[in-house]
Structure 1
Amino acid sequence: MSGYKLITEASVFGKVSFTLQAEQGKADLEENVGLLRTEKTDLEKQVVELRARADQVERRANELRSAEEKKHAEEIQFLKKTNTQLKVRLMGSNSRTNALQRKKIGAKSPAG
């Protein structure tokens, strides 16, 4: 009978030991789950911050591109205006030169 009692006690002790290990394992897993949830929350915050920063960088890049486009458009307009003014001056100069040449030609021709 004492052998049977020893086997029974060993069996009970084994079950208790297994249960305690399982409980400890469960506690470890729950702790790990808590740590992972905290890490997930931190990573989600980082994602939000990085997206906000990326949006800000993109907005700034768009603003700079827009400013450059405006600057180039203004420069083109200025150059077109300057070109037009120079053409007008050149035409006026050519007209005066042609008129002077006609006068000279008229003065050189025998008058009768």
Structure 2
Amino acid sequence: MFKRLPLPDTSAQKSVMVYFDGQQVTARDGDTIAAALLAAGVEACRTTPVSGAPRGPYCMMGVCFECLVEVDGVPNVQGCQILVKDGMQIRSQHGARRLG
């Protein structure tokens, strides 16, 4: 569904490894979590509290909160606002958000 646009100089592009629900995902350095997951074919990163319906990144600018994930044990992180880091542990967020 989503396709990356070609970069002018891909030889300089560094890759990083992150883990989504325990599965290794290769991302580009500088990607947001949401962009990396979409590029890897992940369409849903959370479920709704009432029906359990899958939800995924939508606006990609921090307005809709559809891209909430748990990052390195911290819940309620907007995936479209955080850049990937090598070794980052990302988990799906299921149901209602936990408050800190």
Note whether the superposition's TM-score is higher than 0.5. no
RCO higher in 1 or 2 (8 Å CA, sep ≥ 6)?
A: 2
Larger relative strand fraction:
2
TM-score by length of 2: 0.16
TM-score by length of 1: 0.15
Greater C-alpha Rg: 1
